[in-house]
Chain A
Amino acid sequence: MTSIELPMTHRIIAPPRSPLRMAMNRFLANRLAVLGLIGLSFFIIACYGTLPWTLHTFNQQNLPQALDPPSWQHWMGTDTLGRDLLARFLLGGAISLLIGVFSAIVAVGIGLTVGLVSGYVGGRLDALLMRGVDVLYGLPYILLVILLRVALVGRISHFFTGIGLPQPQGLAGIVVLLVGIGGVSWLTMARVIRSQTMSLVNQPYVEAARATGAKPARILLRHILPNLIGSVAVYAALTVPSAILAESFLSFLGLGVQPPVPTWGNLAASGVQAINPIHTQWWLITWPCVGLTLALLCLNFLGDALRDALDVRTR
């Protein structure tokens, strides 16, 4: 009976907690989220910390050692050209994560702009933009990426050659991939931001801002946008894994980042061919897919926990 007196006084003295603080506590209370965060940090450190080594070795061929199973010398084994799979795995992870993050940035940029404008302006522009979003939802998104790729790669690589960048073809492929994946991943984001903007526009404080003569741009950026940060963070976090997955699909179809540059997607895609009736080289498909799955799992745990912590609706 003596043990309950301290918490009571403690609770009264504790300062009032901000919404951010409360959200953070909810996030940290979610054990899966913390696990995801730790796992992701591990991947980031492993993939980016080893860059000096992997950038040198990822394309070093050693034909006599081709298709060696995992050993002390090559922890993950070697591929068909005798390249060390560990180096390719780590560099592939670094590139895959980069693709995920940059596609998410593109998606957030488009989705936020369309959602804000559509929700704030309303009327015909809103109807037009939202019908566009409706129909884009209907088309298979992989197809749109492929179309954009086919349409743009030549032009962009021509442009890169013009300004004198090295390896214009490969670089153009990656740029188009980022723009393409980002360019089809913004739809959900735009819808969510639009509906939230519409409800925020009618809030008294927005009206007050308008009464003081604030311009629409200022209202949008200083008054409405800060209130949307939660949703933006949630959907950005959920876009990263789906973009990484989209890259792996495209690689499977032979349209992703082109070898010899590795990503988890194209390593897995080339590993798929290793499953055959004659002799199965399990390590070729297992490692990249395990990496892909674990990273996606960590990212999805994070995104899910962020949604639980920040999204008012599903709390």
Chain B
Amino acid sequence: MTTYIIRRLLLMIPTLLGMTFMLFAVVRFAPGLTTGGGQFSAGIMQSRQAQKQEQAIMERRLHLVDKNGHPISLVMQYILWLKSTCEGHLGTSIVYQEPVLTLIEQRLPVTLTINAIAMAVIYLVSIPGGLITALNQGRLIDRGYGFLSLALYSLPVIWLGSTVLGFLANPQYFNWFPSAGLHSTNTANMTFFRYIADYLYHIVLPIVCSVYGGFAFLSKQIRGSILENLQQDYVRTARAKGLSGTTVLTRHVFRNSLLNLITLTGMSLPGLLGGSVIIEQIFSINGMGRLAYTSTLARDLPVIQDLALVVSVLTLLSYLAVDICYHLADPRVTYG
């Protein structure tokens, strides 16, 4: 097992290189580069001369040009970036004037909590949903659930999101929910439980919006794998030897269907880190998605590159974790 993990970790290196180079090329291929926004916000008007100078410094720092101002080839740029990254120097955002790592540290927990809660809700609905629809195949409840989940999946989140925000978090109509942010203003003098409650109250609408479209796919997959397992020989054997229907279901069918579920979960794990640009944009949540979006628009090269690096590493690690879980859940799966 240890050998396997080490080998997998080593195999990650070429993948990472290829991935980062691809993104690097796309990012650098795009024209334009932002220069320090910090000076403008400080209220100092810059002369054209100073702007040009700053641009030149920035280009040199990002290894776009060499010391004499000659442009560097793309591959060389990549090697220089790789070198400084391997030495532990992650970039500094041009727009925020802060290290990228600090930005990620601020935003990753926000996105991760919201996505984790949303995923838990999706699974809590979809697993019973898939089970019930599979056992009532073709009946009204099966068709009704299928229709409803597909209908929800078809509802564009920009509509639902902005509508609930416009009507349920609006003093003119129903002022039930906060319209933006994740905390009330007076968090300092709250007890711990009060704080958690306040947080949950703030994320109700974002969670609802990120959850409602997810039922259709997962329920359908679970339903499919349960139906498939129900037709297997071992189920007939278990029935024949006199086990009750519930025991067959929980001990045999459901357990085997879980294997399928692990693969599905593994494939969706990287999505947890990314964050939904749309939902974070609608509800003004400062998460990973919004950071990536704003820095792409602002052409904040260091942030885009390092963000891509961090997300790629975390993605590959989560794939590895899934494979290990797979082994734990099904002892038949071995790794050489």
CB-defined contacts of B275 to chain A, threshold 8 Å: 140
- Bound-complex Cα distance A128 to B21 (A): 14
CB-defined contacts of A241 to chain B, threshold 8 Å: 154
CB atoms of A146 and B293 under 8 A apart: yes
Decide if A138 is an interface residue (CB 8 Å cutoff): yes
Decide if A314 is an interface residue (CB 8 Å cutoff): yes
CB atoms of A285 and B159 under 8 A apart: yes
CB atoms of A293 and B155 under 8 A apart: yes
CB-defined contacts of B22 to chain A, threshold 8 Å: 132
CB-defined contacts of A253 to chain B, threshold 8 Å: 277-278, 281, 293
Task: For A303, give the chain B residue with the smallest CB separation.
Answer: B150
Select B312's contact among A135, A301, A304, beta carbons within 8 Å. Answer: A135
Select A143's contact among B150, B151, B292, B299, beta carbons within 8 Å. Answer: B292
- Bound-complex Cα distance A202 to B170 (A): 62
CB atoms of B18 and A252 under 8 A apart: no
| Binary CB contact string for chain A from 24 to 43 against chain B (1 if under 8 A, 0 otherwise) | 00000000100000000000
Decide if B206 is an interface residue (CB 8 Å cutoff): no
Decide if B43 is an interface residue (CB 8 Å cutoff): no
CB-defined contacts of B88 to chain A, threshold 8 Å: none
Give the interface segment out of A2-10, A148-156, A213-221.
Answer: A148-156
Decide if A21 is an interface residue (CB 8 Å cutoff): no
CB distance from B177 to the nearest CB of A (A): 15
Q: How large is the interface on A (under 10, 10 to 19, 20 to 34, 35 or more residues)?
A: 35 or more
Decide if A207 is an interface residue (CB 8 Å cutoff): no
Decide if B296 is an interface residue (CB 8 Å cutoff): yes
CB atoms of B158 and A252 under 8 A apart: yes
Task: For B170, give the chain A residue with the smallest CB separation.
Answer: A277
CB-defined contacts of A139 to chain B, threshold 8 Å: 23, 270, 274, 308, 311-312, 315
Task: For B277, give the chain A residue with the smallest CB separation.
Answer: A142
CB-defined contacts of B312 to chain A, threshold 8 Å: 135, 138-139
Known: A137-B267, A138-B315, A277-B172. A272 touches B150 (CB 8 A): no
CB atoms of B19 and A132 under 8 A apart: yes
Select A272's contact among B162, B172, B293, B304, beta carbons within 8 Å. Answer: B162
Select B296's contact among A143, A289, A292, beta carbons within 8 Å. Answer: A143
- Bound-complex Cα distance A184 to B296 (A): 17
CB distance from A297 to the nearest CB of B (A): 4
- Bound-complex Cα distance A150 to B26 (A): 9
CB atoms of A297 and B151 under 8 A apart: yes
CB atoms of A154 and B171 under 8 A apart: no
CB distance from B231 to the nearest CB of A (A): 10
Select A135's contact among B162, B216, B315, beta carbons within 8 Å. Answer: B315
CB atoms of B31 and A154 under 8 A apart: yes
- Bound-complex Cα distance A206 to B27 (A): 43
CB atoms of A147 and B159 under 8 A apart: no
Decide if B153 is an interface residue (CB 8 Å cutoff): yes
CB-defined contacts of B273 to chain A, threshold 8 Å: 138
Known: A150-B30, A297-B151, A313-B224. A248 touches B166 (CB 8 A): no
CB atoms of B26 and A148 under 8 A apart: yes
CB atoms of A134 and B319 under 8 A apart: yes
CB atoms of B274 and A138 under 8 A apart: yes
The tally of residues in B whose CB lies under 8 Å from a CB in A reads: 60
Decide if B15 is an interface residue (CB 8 Å cutoff): yes
Known: A143-B296, A147-B296, A313-B228. A245 touches B172 (CB 8 A): no
- Bound-complex Cα distance A131 to B143 (A): 38
CB distance from B7 to the nearest CB of A (A): 13
Task: For A191, give the chain B residue with the smallest CB separation.
Answer: B267
Decide if A269 is an interface residue (CB 8 Å cutoff): yes
Decide if B129 is an interface residue (CB 8 Å cutoff): no
| Complex interface residues of chain B between 1 and 56 (CB less than 8 A to chain A) | 14-15, 18-19, 22-23, 26-27, 29-31
- Bound-complex Cα distance A276 to B162 (A): 10
CB distance from B102 to the nearest CB of A (A): 21
Task: For A296, give the chain B residue with the smallest CB separation.
Answer: B154
CB distance from A194 to the nearest CB of B (A): 15
CB-defined contacts of B150 to chain A, threshold 8 Å: 297, 300-301, 304
CB-defined contacts of A151 to chain B, threshold 8 Å: 26-27, 29-30
CB distance from A31 to the nearest CB of B (A): 9
Decide if B147 is an interface residue (CB 8 Å cutoff): yes
Decide if B242 is an interface residue (CB 8 Å cutoff): no
CB-defined contacts of A300 to chain B, threshold 8 Å: 150, 153-154, 216
CB distance from B70 to the nearest CB of A (A): 23
- Bound-complex Cα distance A280 to B158 (A): 17
- Bound-complex Cα distance A245 to B158 (A): 10
Decide if B316 is an interface residue (CB 8 Å cutoff): yes
CB-defined contacts of A140 to chain B, threshold 8 Å: 274-277, 289, 292
Decide if A121 is an interface residue (CB 8 Å cutoff): no
- Bound-complex Cα distance A131 to B316 (A): 9
CB-defined contacts of B245 to chain A, threshold 8 Å: none
| Complex interface residues of chain A between 99 and 139 (CB less than 8 A to chain B) | 128, 131-132, 134-135, 137-139
CB distance from A181 to the nearest CB of B (A): 14
CB-defined contacts of A252 to chain B, threshold 8 Å: 158, 278, 281
CB-defined contacts of B277 to chain A, threshold 8 Å: 140, 142-143, 249, 253
Decide if B331 is an interface residue (CB 8 Å cutoff): no
CB-defined contacts of B336 to chain A, threshold 8 Å: none
| Complex interface residues of chain B between 60 and 110 (CB less than 8 A to chain A) | none
| Complex interface residues of chain A between 276 and 304 (CB less than 8 A to chain B) | 276-277, 280, 285, 289, 292-293, 296-297, 300-301, 304
Select B159's contact among A132, A146, A268, A314, beta carbons within 8 Å. Answer: A268
CB-defined contacts of A314 to chain B, threshold 8 Å: 220, 224, 227
Return 5 A-B CB contacts under 8 Å, by A number.
A137-B267, A249-B157, A292-B156, A293-B155, A296-B154
Q: Name the 6 nearest CB pairs between A and B, nearest first.
A: A138-B315, A138-B270, A275-B166, A140-B274, A151-B30, A296-B154
Given contacts A147-B296, A293-B156, 9 further A-B contacts (CB under 8 A): A131-B14, A135-B15, A150-B30, A252-B158, A268-B158, A269-B158, A272-B158, A300-B216, A313-B228
